[in-house]
Structure 1
Amino acid sequence: MDARVHHPHPVAGVHHDADHGFLHSVETGGAIDGPGVRFVFFMAGCLFRCLYCHNPDTWKLHNGRRVDADDMLEELARYAGFLKLAGGVTFSGGEPLMQAAFVGQVTTRIKEELGLHIALDTQGFLHESLDDDWFNPVDLVMLDIKHIDPLRYEKLTAQPLQPTLDFAHRLKAMQQPAWIRYVLVPGLTDGADDVARMADFVAGLGPNIERVEVLPFHQMGASKWAELNKPYALADTPTPDDAATEAARDVFRARGLVAS
């Protein structure tokens, strides 16, 4: 067990083994998963059921291959020299905090043995099980906030909003460098009031928020839903045009935030 991870209120489906985890896939040259060029570990398992998820094949924990920390460092080490200069490694998914005990062991070893920049792409839903020092090897948290309205957030994700907002405040208290990620979905998250409320919330978090990424919705995950024989609710939803995306970014910029 990782002493930095505890479960006072156990959540069904969470993986507690610190020695082994489940890895869905990797990307060796990610360009949208943190600063610079990223080696991305897509961890298996997620409790969210986001309507626009582009990796629904990562939802089930055991859809990934069973690995240990040595396996992951071996995959990463061959790129370490380049990544140290050009970017780093990102843990995404799925939801990496579904396997926090294992991911924590791996991030510690990456920092100690390879010295790489480490980013965590998360919804923060399971943060209460983690001690603050679990985040010591993590250089950047990329926090996905799907919506600012609790009811619409739950409709969009099938999970409550408050744990994610609590995590955002916790990052502020820890002075943990963070990016906020917000997907602009026509008809769901692009309302003027929704964007303004989100911008107000983020602006109140403080200087640890280095950037807001407003990401236009896309249909790239639709084929995966079809392969899984799952109905895709957003099949008729268009990608927002550049003007709409830039207008949303301007709402954040008007509050003194860096937005891209």
Structure 2
Amino acid sequence: MGIQGTIHSIETFGTLDGPGIRYVLFLQGCSLRCRFCHNPDTWAMGGKPTSDSDEVVKGILSYRSFIKKGGVTLSGGEPLRQPEFALDIINKCKKAGLHTALDTAGSVPLERSRAVLDAVDLVLLDIKSLDDRQCFSLTGQGNANTLATLEYCQAIGKPVWLRHVLVPQWTLDRQRLEKLALFLKGYSCIEKVELLPYHAMGQYKWEQLNLDYSLKDVPEPTEKELGMAKKLFEEQGLEVLMTSFATKEKTAKVG
């Protein structure tokens, strides 16, 4: 018998959460309350039946022929809210010869997340805002744990794909982006920067959960704004990937 954990949903043919075609597990639970979250239904830890890590990995391996050149990604929610469950799945997938990735906001203290960071092959790290006060206003939590996660990845030489959501009137600001690009330039562990344009396609989920969506009047970024943002990071020598945030909405099958 493996470790028990809670899964929100599964995507068996993911192309946006790491290299190649990937089996993506969206784990339930997140301590952040991002204003732009398109999956607030992943926040609460309860409401889903528990899953056994042995059975989860068995399901993953049934897709081995499709993901052998890609791998497995643990996303969420925040997968580091369930570190023992996540670690067991990662270790068993690696033993089976599969590449592993972790999609995280790094919001969990290192004392809980370190073992998972050590084990996984690639970290997809989402910095909500480099400004701690703005980060708190956007997510309900400061950025100290996220930046500590990045520092740890740098210290152990863990490959990182850095993610950042471009929200007009918030993070999509030239001065803020210049500071972030300059800051990230100093981290050799960062292989690329993935910029995610804000969208409001998940607003209906907030309404279904009787939650107030505070960004309802915020427009989506223009092509000119996105071009500006991309250029600022490229000027610092960073490889930049612009990914449509809309396509990342977790509409995979429920686990």
The normalised TM-score by structure 1 is 0.88
Out of 52, 72, 81, the residue aligned to residue 56 of structure 2 is: 72
Structure 1 residue runs of 5 or longer lacking an equivalent are 1-17
Matched residue, 1:7: none
- Number of residue pairs the alignment of both structures matches: 240
Identical residues among aligned pairs (%): 41
Cα distance between partner residues in 2 of 1:189 and 1:201: 15
Q: 2:113, 2:27 → 1: CA distance?
A: 21
1:173 maps onto 2:173 in alignment: no
- The runs of at least 4 consecutive aligned structure 1 residues that moved more than 6 Å come to none
Equivalent position SS for 2:6? strand
Question: Within 5 A, what are the aligned runs for 1:56-205?
Answer: 56-85=40-69, 87-113=70-96, 115-130=97-112, 132-205=114-187
2:210 is aligned with 1:229: yes
Return the letter of the residue paired with 2:225.
A
**What is the rounded CA distance, in whole Å, between the counterparts of 2:225 and 2:108 in structure 1?**
32
8 Å Cα contact 1:41-1:91 kept in structure 2:
yes
Distance 1:78 1:230 in 2: 38
In 1: Cα distance, 2:68 partner to 2:92 partner: 15
Alignment match, 2:227: 246
Contact 2:125 2:163 in 1 (8 A): yes
Deviation (angstroms), 1:132 = 4.7
Amino acid paired to 1:152: Q
CA drift at 1:140: 0.7
Distance 1:143 1:237, change over 3 A: same
C-alpha distance 174-20 of structure 1, shift in aligned 2 (>3 A): same
- In 2, Cα distance between the equivalents of 1:131 and 1:194? 28
**Residues of 2 paired with 1:232 and 1:107: CA distance?**
35
The one-letter code sitting in structure 2 at the alignment partner of 1:108 is: N
Give deviations 1:143-202, integer Å, cap 9, x for gaps: 000111111110000011111111111110010000110000000101111101111111
TM-score, length-scaled by structure 2? 0.90
1:209 matched residue in structure 2 = 190
Unaligned runs of 5+ in 2: 242-255
CA distance in 2, matches of 1:131, 1:59: 18
**8 A contact 1:38–1:83 mirrored in 2:** yes
Matched residue, 1:21: 5
Tell me, yes or no, if the aligned pair for 1:51 and 1:233 is still in contact at 8 Å: yes
Give me the whole-angstrom Cα distance separating, in 2, the residues matched to 1:245 and 1:163.
28
